[in-house]
Amino acid sequence: MIVEKARPKDINALVELRLAYLQEDNGKLEEETVRKIRQSLPKYYRDTLNKDLFVYLIRENEEIVSCAFLLVVIKPMSPSFINGKTGTVLNVYTRPAARRKGYARKIMNTLIEDAAKMALSRIELKATEDGYPLYKAVGFLDDHEKYHNMTWIPQTQITS
């Protein structure tokens, strides 16, 4: 079982893996949403891959079957991220037929090792109920901060 970092030649497969992840996480996506994602993601990956977005993957017979994304951001320093370098884990996904083989655990361990080499002050993620035991097992802690996670979403404009 070899963990690799994605390369530009993997971009089309990464788009499909992202869509599979999003559909499993959110349910069936509207066609227009899928179209916009397919249209926009390749450029995003070309611009960010192996710069501030690192995609870890495992292949079976040349097909990517498992992946995890690490988005690295540099923020103004604080006591909780003293050098300002932080990571966010996104899109941990294994195709259903390849599950229960330890792929996600292997990827997460490699991602954590690389984060240490990059001198990240912390790595954050939001865990689903299914993923929670894995993240605990590889060393993630429950985040008990005095702050509340909040999100602002712009009002959707309705066109007629």
156 pLDDT tier (thresholds 50, 70, 90)? low
Q: For residue 114, is pLDDT > 90? A: yes
Q: Domain residues of the chain, as ranges?
A: 4-137
pTM: 0.89
Average pLDDT, the chain: 92
- Write the pLDDT tens digit of every residue in 71-105: 999 999 988 888 999 999 999 999 999 999 999 99
User: What are the beta bridge partners of residue 122?
Assistant: 86
R_g (Cα) of the chain, nearest Å:
17
Give the pLDDT confidence score for residue 157 in this predicted structure.
42
Q: What is the distance between the alpha carbons of residues 80 and 148, in angstroms, rounded to a whole number? A: 16
CA 97 to chain centre: 20
Sheet holding 85-94, edge to edge: 4-5, 53-60, 63-74, 85-94, 122-124
> Could you tell me the CATH superfamily of domain 4-137?
Gcn5-related N-acetyltransferase (GNAT) (3.40.630.30)
Q: What pLDDT is stored for residue 155 in this prediction?
A: 74
Residue corresponding to tokens 């090792």: 113
